[in-house]
Amino acid sequence: MLSTTIINSFKNLKILCIGDIMLDKFLYGDVERISPEAPVPIFKIVKEKSMLGGTGNVIANLASLKIKTMFIGAAGNDESCIMLETFLKDTGCEYSLIKPENYPTTTKIRMIASNNHIIRADKETELNLSHDEISKLKKFAEDALPKCHIVLLSDYKKGLLTAETTQMIISLCQKFGKKVLVDPKEKDFSKYSGADIVKPNLKEFELVSGLKFDTSDENFKEKITNAARDVMKKYNIGSLLITLSKDGMIYVPSNIEEESVHIHAEAKEVYDVSGAGDTSLAVLGASIAAGAYINDAMKLANLASGIVVGKLGTACVTPSELKNAIINENAKGKLSQGLKIVSVDEAVEIAAELKSQGKVIGFTNGCFDVMHLGHIHSFAGAKNECDCLFVGINSDKSVKNIKGEHFPLQDERTRAYVAASLEFVDYVVLFDEDTALELVKKLKPDVIAKEGLKIENWPEAQYILSYGGKAVQLERVEDYSTTAVLNKIDNLQKSGVINV
């Protein structure tokens, strides 16, 4: 089962990206008539948007996942480069740029009307690095490599990653003991010799292998595995991960004793495939750097790609989107409530991520030993005050401290699962302390809501109010309480109606 702990560890990573960066410009508008000057549509621009493209989209995805990044590349000494540097700074990226004379920053301009691409216009010139510029590239790499966990080479065939420079970088990575993942564009894979993983798409792999493959063939996995191992042997490549678009991806290790791994993609409503390969590379590299097994890294990359193709334009994936995708993936045919039960550290991270998206975080707490209408009414009322409701539940240890050795009647796992089963509850967090104050201090919710407590006698509420949060006293549902339920059971037992 995929675990969100992989994503939680992303924040501890630093990843070096080397490759062809470019500026992506999107012009959104309408086409309502044909030009009187020529039989072409008139595109009326409504809005414009610019962002990092090429290897820059890999960086943007890593930054969106809260991963520290470094980048080495080339750009022109022009206005587009100024925009690129602004975007790189916005991601927090540490970058080193070579700026050759008379070299324009690669720029892609896409015109989009009614979610349809009308035309793409490119401004680019192939890069030819001088001897001094190659030396500068080497120095940049030598300075960055000791500080990173993994290296991603994103080759868009614009001239930075030539056979000479790519082999120089891979040799340096081997010297510093860093894994290298390559997103290739060349048909001649000798350029990538020594890389740990090369990630072509199926069309690119067919070009390098000289063979055609039918993914519906019952022997597809065996055929592509054999071809992949021939390619790896010929070009001295550690392993190949071949992306198959709607058919998922397949990982082929060079060791013939290891099985190939083929995972299938889910059917998605596709708006735009721009940048999906960059997202896949970013998540795959981050997952491997975080210590994930290759099949889990592939599943995460596959889920991430599925998210971005459902967005218009070059897009990024966020930790919360990826975590939700994991929850949905793990929940298939299984008891999914347990996936809403999170640790304190996970709760803090989830809350922070949701707050960064402008979501209102709510909180309520209790033992919830015998669930009844009063509890459900309380959850519904609390959820009405927020976008995401966290429910703190006293652990078995906590309940015993408060109520004595005979309690709780139901263990913490049961109580947590019952609460997590309710639609009003987004996340459940168990805590060992007698009160929820320490949990509230870590979670820092925007609002707390609960029945039966006056705000002046409510420490958690006082703390939340101290930083500008909101405390809500919910209306109590009369005649419903755990004590009333236990008294009824006791009376029924004494009268002989039931035998506990």
- What is residue 456's predicted lDDT score, i.e. its pLDDT? 87
Pick the CATH number of 5-331 from 3.40.630.30, 3.40.50.620, 3.40.1190.20, 3.40.50.880: 3.40.1190.20
Q: Which long-range contacts (CB under 8 A, 24 or more apart) does 409-412 make?
A: 409/369, 409/370, 409/486, 410/369, 410/370
Domain residue spans in the chain?
Answer: 5-331, 339-494
Pairing of strands 68-74, 41-54: unpaired
The CA distances from residue 150 to 20, 95, 272, 322, 423, in Å, are 18, 16, 29, 21, 41
- What is residue 325's predicted lDDT score, i.e. its pLDDT? 76
Q: Measured between alpha carbons, how far is 413 from 415 in angstroms, rounded to an integer?
A: 6
- What is residue 350's predicted lDDT score, i.e. its pLDDT? 86
- Hey, what are 373's tokens? 């209408």
| Residue 178 contacts residue 148 (beta carbons within 8 Å) | yes
Instruction: Summarize pLDDT for 343-360 with one digit per residue, the tens.
Output: 898 889 888 878 887 889
Q: What angle do CA 101, 107, 113 make, to 5 degrees?
A: 165
- What is residue 305's predicted lDDT score, i.e. its pLDDT? 85
Rg for the chain (alpha carbons), in Å?
28
| Residue 62 contacts residue 161 (beta carbons within 8 Å) | no
- What is residue 93's predicted lDDT score, i.e. its pLDDT? 97
Pick the CATH number of 339-494 from 3.60.110.10, 3.40.50.150, 3.90.1310.10, 3.40.50.620: 3.40.50.620
* Residues lower than pLDDT 50 in the chain: 267, 269-272, 333, 335
DSSP code of 201? B
Q: Measured between alpha carbons, how far is 26 from 134 in angstroms, rounded to an integer?
A: 32
Q: Which residues are catalytic?
A: 278
- What is residue 312's predicted lDDT score, i.e. its pLDDT? 55
